Amino acid sequence: MSLYIILMGVQGAGKGVQAKFIEETYGIPQVSTGDLFRAMKTRTDELAVKVQNIMASGQLVDDDTTNAIVVDRLAQDDAQNGVILDGYPRNQAQAEFLEKHLAEKGDKINAVILLELDYFIAFKRAFGRVTDPSGESYNYYYKTDGVTIEWVDHPDNAFPPRLKATLDGSDQELKRRPDDASADAVLKRIDTFVETTQPLIDYFDGKGIIKKVDADQSIEAVTADIKTVIDELK
Ligand code: AMP
């Protein structure tokens, strides 16, 4: 059975980490449109530059571009038994496009897993996040063991203070995702999520395929809840 699962949740709800779990447990790849777009950051062609500018401002990429990039990804060999979609669809037009595209192949969306998280917690999870080269995440508000995280003023105060994180015992500075580093851009993503997602939740709810999971729990507890949902589908 093919498994097309949509993972929904505000920025910071843990979609990335949970998608990785589903990928490893059920053998279907994670397709994150955010990651597909971020992978364009070293390209200099017109499409890539357009996408880079849109992302830097926290806006959404237009539907036609997004749909075309997803169709291209779904056609690849590793996606033939299904995928976990993360960050797509973001609105009803994208959802209808996806349903039509899957129906043409005799497939359908099996479930929409909604990771529910309070928006203030979502802001702090995204804005406070820094990642070391191995992919381990730390957070200014929640997880500082092994790192020193501080606010550093701009020398001329021309820009807001910058969050600087250094691994203890080394002078290596950790990175923030560029789209997490601006409070405005994080807020705009949360706003966009609220505006565009509620209608989408209602839309999928009408089809009876929404499965709600509380994302304000440990990663392991969220994982266990997701496993229960998917095992029931199979
Ligand atoms: P994410 O990592 O999912 O937060 O995505 C980062 C950025 O990529 C978003 O702020 C958008 O600019 C763009 N993006 C990702 N997925 C979509 C989508 N389904 N539709 C439109 N834009 C998207």
Domains of the chain: 3-118+184-233 (3.40.50.300), 129-175 (no CATH)
Position 4 scores a pLDDT of 97
Sign, CA dihedral 63-65-66-67, equals positive
- The pLDDT, as a whole number, for residue 76 is 95
From ligand 1's centre to the CA of 16, what distance in Å?
13
Q: Which parts of the chain have pLDDT scores under 50? A: none
DSSP single-letter state for residue 61? P
Q: Which of 73, 90, 125, 211 is catalytic?
A: 90
Catalytic residue among 41, 43, 177, 207: 177
User: Given this model, what pLDDT does residue 176 score?
Assistant: 87
Q: Locate the ligand 1 atom nearest the alpha carbon of residue 89 and give its number.
A: 19
The whole-number pLDDT of residue 209 equals: 95
Torsional class of 13: left (φ above 0), alpha (ψ -120 to 50), beta (otherwise): alpha
pLDDT, residue 190, reads 93
Amino acid 101: pLDDT: 97
Residue nearest to ligand 1 atom 11, measured at CA: 60
Contact 27, 81 (CB under 8 A): yes
